[in-house]
């Protein structure tokens, strides 16, 4: 499984649902990091 690279490449390697869940968790973490920086 290739984690880094094109989204299409990740889609071929994994179930799209798991890819979306990983993207969602990454986005949530990024937002939390931004909130900490802005405090």
Asked, for residue 1, whether it belongs to a domain, the answer is no
- What pLDDT sits at residue 20? 83
Region of residue 15 (left: phi > 0; alpha: psi -120 to 50; beta: else): beta
The whole domain housing 16 covers: 7-38
Give the C-alpha distances (Å, rounded to integers) separating 6 from 12, 17, 20, 28: 10, 16, 14, 20
Please name the residue that has the structure tokens 């990454």: 26
Is the residue at 30 inside a domain? yes
- As for how many domains the chain has, the answer is 1
2 within a domain of the structure (yes/no): no
pTM of the model: 0.52
| Residue 26 is assigned to a structural domain of this protein | yes
What's the pLDDT tens digit per position in 28-38? 999 999 999 99
Has residue 20 been placed in a domain? yes
- 31 located within any domain: yes
Give residue-wise pLDDT tens across range 1-39: 555 566 656 556 667 788 788 889 999 999 999 999 998
């Amino acid at each position: 499984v290739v984690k880094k690279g094109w989204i299409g490449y990740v889609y071929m390697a994994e179930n799209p649902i798991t890819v979306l869940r990983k993207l969602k968790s990454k986005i949530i973490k990024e937002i939390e990091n931004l909130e900490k920086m802005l405090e």
